[in-house]
Structure 1
């Protein structure tokens, strides 16, 4: 007899034919703690991974908030977020590939506003170090939260940052801005970040722990 949980969080129990139901239920109860832990891990993984599918009932992070995805048939493609529900109205709701592209397009549009506002906030600190206002680029990256090109005065932010709360986003933006002054990760670099964001370590830890499967 065994119990398995797949990547969608579905629980499957296998038992030999004729085994009493009471014995099966007892086995499941004995695995209760493991089932709860595993379901939580599956949920965290599915909410964080960047290339996951978008489907009805999926849970995902949006600016640090756990949201439920709903997909509805519509004559027009659009997306609406109402409290903790993201509703995708699609002309082809059964085409997961199209629904995913629609969601990513909407997310990038949302990210443009969120990231610009974050850069404005953080540049109000960085400009004290004579750091210029940068050009912003948004990409769906798998290995890093952000990058910078001081020569082009440009920073690139990962679209997956839209899963994180605003404090974590601000941390990444400030980190990239400070690279305009120090290109490495030496003591002076971190001292400069600490000067303007004393809790940056807590923000970094929260970002990487909560969303570590996202990049």
Structure 2
């Protein structure tokens, strides 16, 4: 796998050559970074021609992601607003001898030692996000894998800069962005199904769309909702 940087007008594009069949163009939040995954048998000039034909689309997508609403940096303090599975909760920080987190009807109670730093409180919050997201995604994978007749799946949760999820087909390993813990469950369901479908169809082609329509008919709506939520 090799990487190249090309420029189409003022747009910088990172090109990665992989063992795939088709070109894949992506514009990534939060700043509109552009990437193309290209088959290894394409030459760079062919990729440049393809990118030039997509320049107007690239600029529209960059404008869209750059104007998207973003969350303010969290301070992990009492009365601060936090999202969990698409619902808004108020944070309540409580001094304690040990760290833990308790979800109440309208609040997230975070217990921390008096001298806890911001990073330590964030770690407590994100450890809890990870545990809850693993349970939810595990349940969805179990449900849909049976429906889709897929076996031997592994998954994990981690921080991801530009994707909600990814799929390693050879290892049958699915990865999910920990920030999904903040998003509505229907949106999480869409990402889970999307990555599972990649185990049946590697590329984003017509067959991929047919499979998405079969297994999750409302996926387009959930994708739209997810893309419009604050990053």
Runs (5+) with no aligned partner, structure 2: 1-68
The aligned residue for residue 175 of structure 1 is 194
1:169-188 CA deviation, whole Å, 9 max, x = no partner? 11100100110111111111
Q: CA deviation at 1:94?
A: 5.0
Gaps of at least 5 residues in structure 1 are 1-43
**TM-score if structure 2 supplies the norm length?**
0.66
Distance 2:208 2:114 in 1: 49
Aligned ranges 1:52-63 → 2 under 5 Å: 52-63=74-85
Match of 1:171, SS state, is: helix
Runs of 4+ residues deviating >3 angstroms: none
Measured against aligned partners, the alpha-carbon deviations of 1:122-154 in whole angstroms (never above 9, x if no partner) come to 212221xxx324101110112110000110011
The structure in which a higher percent of residues are helix is 1
3-state DSSP of counterpart to 2:92: strand
Task: Give 1:83's aligned residue.
Answer: 105
Question: Alpha-carbon deviation of 1:93?
Answer: 5.6
What is the distance in 1 between the residues matched to 2:206 and 2:97? 56
Count of residue correspondences: 163
Does 144-153 or 93-102 show the bigger shift?
93-102
Secondary structure of 1:88's counterpart equals: strand
Deviations 1:43-75 (A, max 9, x none): x632xx7x6442222212100101111101011
- For residues 66-98 of structure 1, the C-alpha deviation after alignment (integer angstroms, 9 at most, x for no partner) is 111110101121110001210101013652111
Q: Please, what is the CA RMSD of the aligned residues?
A: 1.6
Match of 2:96 among 64, 71, 74: 74
Q: What pairs up with 1:1-215 in 2 under 5 angstroms?
A: 45-46=70-71, 52-92=74-114, 94-127=116-149, 131-211=150-230, 213=231
Which has the larger strand fraction? 2
Tell me if the contact between 1:73 and 1:93 (Cα under 8 Å) persists in the aligned partners. no
